[in-house]
Amino acid sequence: MGLIATVTGWRLLRFLLRAIALIVSVVLVYLMVTGVQVWLTSRRYQPHHAGAIVVMGAAQYNGVPSPDLKARLDQAGLLWHQGYATTVMVTGSKEKGDLFTEAQASARYLVADGIPVHDILEAGGSDSWENLSLAAPVLLARGDGTVLIVTDPFHEARSLATASSVGLTPSPTPTRTSPITGASSIPFFAKETVGVALGRIIGFDHLSAVHSSLGSIDPMRWPTPNLSTTH
């Protein structure tokens, strides 16, 4: 009986190890495929006439957009001046102690760029899902559900997926002047790969809730590498 129990135990252990190895392999393949999709999406640029241009929020410093946010706003301004949309929706709330929200800093910048204040809408949120979930009802009520999403290339895939999940019809128009390029963008691509992979499984609203419960900060509000981190 002891020998039979030992053999049975080894067989069970081998089965468990094979099951674990299979699960790990599936997860790794899923992450690799998602990573490729995130990278391919970062290279897409498909401007067309739309109801609105949506700018994903990023850090601002006392009303002045960070270099990362500035790059996004410059792209949105370009699209507006080229006539792709007559409305720009800027997003983002503020951190404790800030005088301005990211949306307010963005609006001020766009007005200085020549865009009339009545063409600018604001939605405040603490992460990507909140930004888009707050912006969507306003845009849909106006009949502006077809949108151009402006953000960093590595953030485009998650932004598009999140926008679709809240009822918008998005197209990618990532900034082409992001200060986060080359090797410095690798950690961001990695984080976005995990974010997209998890969001597809649990939902981007639940991903936002997980971020909030863990007290984590949306990657798009992390200081830009090699730039001022004063907030």
Rg (CA), the chain: 21
**Which pLDDT belongs to residue 5?**
62
Q: Which amino acid is at 120?
A: I
Is 150 within a domain? yes
Is 84 within a domain? yes
Give the span between the Cα atoms of 209 and 15, in whole angstroms.
Answer: 36
**Which pLDDT belongs to residue 4?**
66
For each of the chain's 231 residues, which pLDDT tens digit applies? 566 667 676 788 888 889 999 999 999 999 999 999 999 999 999 999 999 999 999 999 999 999 999 999 999 999 999 999 999 999 999 988 889 999 999 999 999 999 999 999 999 899 999 999 999 999 999 999 999 999 999 999 999 999 999 999 999 999 999 999 999 999 999 999 999 999 999 999 988 888 776 654 454 454 444 443 333
Is 161 within a domain? yes
Is 32 within a domain? no
**Which pLDDT belongs to residue 195?**
95
**Which pLDDT belongs to residue 210?**
81
Two tokens, residue 65: 């957009």
Two tokens, residue 183: 């090797």
Pairing of strands 64-65, 60-61: antiparallel
Tally the domains of the chain. 1
Q: Which domain holds residue 93?
A: 52-221
Is 206 within a domain? yes
DSSP class of residue 155 equals: G
DSSP class of residue 22 equals: H
Q: Which of left, alpha, beta for 121 (phi over 0: left; psi -120 to 50: alpha)? A: beta
Is 154 within a domain? yes
Do the beta carbons of residue 86 and residue 50 sit within 8 Å? no
Give the span between the Cα atoms of 164 and 168, in whole angstroms.
Answer: 5
Do the beta carbons of residue 194 and residue 87 sit within 8 Å? no
Is 26 within a domain? no
What value, to the nearest 5°, has the Cα angle with vertex 206 and ends 70 and 131? Answer: 25
Give the span between the Cα atoms of 48 and 153, in whole angstroms.
Answer: 18
SS3 content of the chain, % helix, strand, coil (to 5): 55, 10, 30
pTM score, whole prediction: 0.86
Residues making up the chain, counted from first to last: 231
Is 155 within a domain? yes
Domain containing 70 — which CATH number? Answer: 3.40.50.620
